Structure 1
Amino acid sequence: MASSLLRSAHVLGALSSVGPFAIDMYLPALPAIGADLGSSVTAMQSTITAYFLAFGVAQLVYGPWADQAGRRLPLYVGLAIFFLGSVVCTLAGSAEMLLAGRFVQGLGGAAVMVVPRAIIRDLHTGHEATRLMAAIMLVISVSPMLAPLAGAGLIAVADWRAIFAVLSLGALASLVMTRFALRETLPPEARQPVRPRALLAAARMLLGHRSFLGLTLLGGFGMASFFVFIASASFVYTEQFGMSPTGFSLAFAVNAIGFFGASQMAAGLGLRFGAVPVVLAAAAGFAASTVALFALALMGLASLPVVMAGLFVANGFLGLVIPTTMVLALEEHGEHAGLASSLGGTLQMLVGGAMIVLTGPFFDGSVVPMLGAIAVCGVMAFALSRIVVPRQAALA
């Protein structure tokens, strides 16, 4: 990988990891936080949902703003808001205050999801964009390994509030990195003023664009499987399988290894076989593995090793689906890269949040509801791949 591409991957990956760390780092502490604040499992899951919903809706602001003002200013503001939310979470004395802090975190964290995607589109298209996206995924995917372990380590020597204090410091470090290590990639002559009528017209065009919408939702159901796992796994692994916070963090890391290991092959496989065949095959594999794992759970065969192995395989397929669909969805919309990125991210976050809300009433602390919801995500992704991706191939 060229040095400039590698440097971009490091900087953008580090910025993009702020959001995942905010999600994953406090997962081992969720049962302890609930006990300390006197809150239920549902209330703790709602802190995850609040983050996702704010994260999703705020992307609608950052995308157009990044097209108008350039890429760096929205990053500055988003990271400052994320810092404020992290401070609120650190000082939270109730579940409601924690919920509010998580919502504010999500409002700020959206910037470091939208803007890096638009920067990728500024710099590259095609296979180079997929390589850069996959490289960023590598950096991001380390967070599910490091963040829960870091959170478990912190609660071993301090209480859960230390996790959010560290996230506050991370936001400040990201502000410094944005200032000194990230150049502006959108020149003034390429910027587009925010005109509400034109913005609505562009949004209608994107939402009516079959390939954009379908590919976005395909990736969205893949990401939703992550969200369901994130909302449920700490309770399943500690209550049903009797794991410690550190043990849960290590088990959680297995998923990340499967995902980022496969994501690094996405560009090479796309170059060799074509992006469309890769998405079709990976979506089929993802659906088959998640449905098979759910079937094993229904038969009472979902032991901890079986669950870990099955999710490892499923997330390996997902590592091919997500970066490739992200690139394909934006490929035809360079003139609206910021809006397309933000609208796509919003739709994906809303799908993920909706899946958590819809499956919450069925969650009883056991593995079966969690795996059932993940299987639903797999089936939906597979169905969309068969409906939309052949259309993308016809347009290629």
Structure 2
Amino acid sequence: MRTSSFFMFYLAGLSMLGYLATDMYLPAFGAMQQDLNASAGVISASLSIFLAGFAFAQLVWGPLSDRIGRKPVLAMGLTLFSLGCLGMLWVDTTTELLVLRFVQAIGVCSAAVTWQALVIDRYSKGVANRVFATIMPLVALSPALAPLLGAWLLNHLEWQAIFAVLFGISLLLLIPTLMLKDERRKPTENQPKENISFFQLMRSNIFSGNVMIFAACSAGFFAWLTGSPFILGDMGYSPNDIGLSYVPQTIAFLIGGYGCRALLSRIGGNLMLPWLLVVYSLSMIGMFAMALLSSPGLFALLVPFCIMAMANGAIYPIVVANATDPIPRKQWQSGRIAEYATARCLFLG
């Protein structure tokens, strides 16, 4: 089955929407703090609330899409997300901000969970791999592109414009969603009738241990993500500068991921992991040391953080592979386990 250009653009939009919703408003943290007369902690909490909602929603949308189909789940999720973005245009209190960010997370998660299933449902393995190879680079670059777009909007309009653009994007994705044909494949004889439960996963020391590593590494990343807009703003950097500061770390993450993939053919992941964790720990110590300086520069802050991002890019594929090792392969391929694992990683991180 051939892939149409329109459907590829549609899939790319679905795959990138979650990153746009997460990172696009980061340069606006300072403006939102002033406009809503809120503390830095409350504005940062809007990102934490978003991640918590995203983690929870994965456990809902995945099984639901298997039962009622991809199209209804996407339609409900995108509608919910668009309403959450629209409501941001009239936010007056921090409570409204936090509630709407949670609503947005629940909604946009449907796109993140479902777009890969759409590919698998429609295409053979060979074609699906080519589709993923085309879209994944865009997904990887989204964390760098989203803050740049947000900073550009902030230079010309108020911070609410960021959510107006997200509202427009969600509508553009909702229209073709309503025209989708559900093409789920029928269960095969090899597909397990019962999937391993989340609580069974939690009792696995191998799974839980690797998830904790994933969460610990993610914690450092998101600590910077939520605090950096205020830190850099207090240092006198503009929203444009703040948006650009996310580009080097994204490149570092990609280098770590692709470098890990190249090295895994020569060195076992379990041999690499302890050394990567040492690099991660040293980068965190470096970040702490830079924070103790009276007036650190942007370069001094970004160097240890980029090292941390590079280490994370290499650590993530190893610990994800290790976490799934004790799980029967057929049950992992059913897709539910991936949702459970990712949800727990996001929540703990």
Which band: TM-score by shorter chain? 0.7 to 0.9
Q: Which residue identity lines up with residue 315 of structure 2 in the other structure?
A: V
Q: Which residue identity lines up with residue 86 of structure 1 in the other structure?
A: C
Q: How does 1:231-270 map to 2 (within 5 A)?
A: 231-239=226-234, 241-270=235-264
Q: Determine the C-alpha separation between the residues in 1 that align with 2:66 and 2:90.
A: 35
Between stretches 158-167 and 343-352, larger displacement belongs to: 343-352
**Structure 1 contact 259–316 (Cα < 8 Å) conserved:** yes
Match of 2:347 among 347, 350, 362: 350
**Structure 1 contact 224–348 (Cα < 8 Å) conserved:** no
**Structure 1 contact 137–260 (Cα < 8 Å) conserved:** no
Q: Which residue identity lines up with residue 253 of structure 2 in the other structure?
A: F
Per-residue deviation, 1:120: 8.3
Match of 1:289 among 283, 288, 294: 283
Between stretches 222-231 and 114-123, larger displacement belongs to: 114-123
Q: How does 1:51-90 map to 2 (within 5 A)?
A: 51-90=50-89
Q: Determine the C-alpha separation between the residues in 2 that align with 1:265 and 1:183.
A: 38
**Structure 2 contact 215–345 (Cα < 8 Å) conserved:** yes
Q: Which residue identity lines up with residue 249 of structure 1 in the other structure?
A: G
Change (3 A) 1:112 1:278: farther
Task: Give the structure 1 partner of residue 335 of structure 2.
Answer: 338
**Structure 2 contact 82–166 (Cα < 8 Å) conserved:** yes
Q: Which residue identity lines up with residue 343 of structure 1 in the other structure?
A: Y
Scaled by the length of structure 1, what TM-score is found? Answer: 0.73
**Structure 1 contact 134–264 (Cα < 8 Å) conserved:** no
Secondary structure of 1:93's counterpart equals: coil
Secondary structure of 1:17's counterpart equals: helix
Task: Give the structure 1 partner of residue 210 of structure 2.
Answer: 215
**Structure 2 contact 28–151 (Cα < 8 Å) conserved:** yes
Q: Determine the C-alpha separation between the residues in 1 that align with 2:131 and 2:215.
A: 20
Q: Which residue identity lines up with residue 336 of structure 2 in the other structure?
A: L
Matched, 1:172 2:167: no
Q: Determine the C-alpha separation between the residues in 2 that align with 1:274 and 1:119.
A: 33
Per-residue deviation, 1:144: 2.4
Matched, 1:189 2:187: yes
**Structure 2 contact 10–173 (Cα < 8 Å) conserved:** no
Per-residue deviation, 1:25: 0.9
Q: How does 1:20-169 map to 2 (within 5 A)?
A: 20-116=19-115, 138-169=137-168
Q: Which residue identity lines up with residue 89 of structure 2 in the other structure?
A: T
Per-residue deviation, 1:73: 4.0
Task: Give the structure 1 partner of residue 266 of structure 2.
Answer: 272
Q: How many residues align?
A: 339
Per-residue deviation, 1:159: 0.7
**Structure 2 contact 220–284 (Cα < 8 Å) conserved:** no
Q: Determine the C-alpha separation between the residues in 1 that align with 2:27 and 2:81.
A: 21
**Structure 2 contact 44–226 (Cα < 8 Å) conserved:** yes
Change (3 A) 1:35 1:339: same
Q: Which residue identity lines up with residue 218 of structure 2 in the other structure?
A: M
Q: Compute the RMSD of aligned alpha carbons.
A: 3.6
Q: Which residue identity lines up with residue 214 of structure 1 in the other structure?
A: G
Matched-pair identity in %: 27
**Structure 1 contact 25–148 (Cα < 8 Å) conserved:** yes
Scaled by the length of structure 2, what TM-score is found? Answer: 0.82
Q: Determine the C-alpha separation between the residues in 2 that align with 1:274 and 1:11.
A: 37
Match of 2:304 among 295, 301, 310: 310
Per-residue deviation, 1:271: 3.1
Q: Determine the C-alpha separation between the residues in 2 that align with 1:308 and 1:23.
A: 20
Per-residue deviation, 1:84: 1.6
Which ranges in structure 1 are unaligned for 5 or more consecutive residues?
A: 353-396
Q: Determine the C-alpha separation between the residues in 1 that align with 2:181 and 2:238.
A: 39
Between stretches 329-338 and 213-222, larger displacement belongs to: 329-338
Q: Determine the C-alpha separation between the residues in 1 that align with 2:56 and 2:315.
A: 23
Change (3 A) 1:160 1:296: closer
1:115-160 Cα deviation digits (max 9, x unpaired): 45667888899xx98x998876532232222211111111211111
Q: Determine the C-alpha separation between the residues in 1 that align with 2:134 and 2:201.
A: 27
Per-residue deviation, 1:293: 2.9
Per-residue deviation, 1:266: 3.5
Q: Determine the C-alpha separation between the residues in 2 that align with 1:219 and 1:110.
A: 20
1:217-243 Cα deviation digits (max 9, x unpaired): 32222222222112100000110x210
**Structure 1 contact 54–104 (Cα < 8 Å) conserved:** yes
Per-residue deviation, 1:315: 0.5
Q: Determine the C-alpha separation between the residues in 1 that align with 2:321 and 2:77.
A: 24
Between stretches 330-339 and 92-101, larger displacement belongs to: 330-339
Which ranges in structure 2 are unaligned for 5 or more consecutive residues?
A: none
Match of 2:314 among 312, 320, 323: 320
Q: Which residue identity lines up with residue 344 of structure 2 in the other structure?
A: L
Q: Determine the C-alpha separation between the residues in 1 that align with 2:279 and 2:119.
A: 28
Task: Give the structure 2 partner of residue 366 of structure 1.
Answer: none
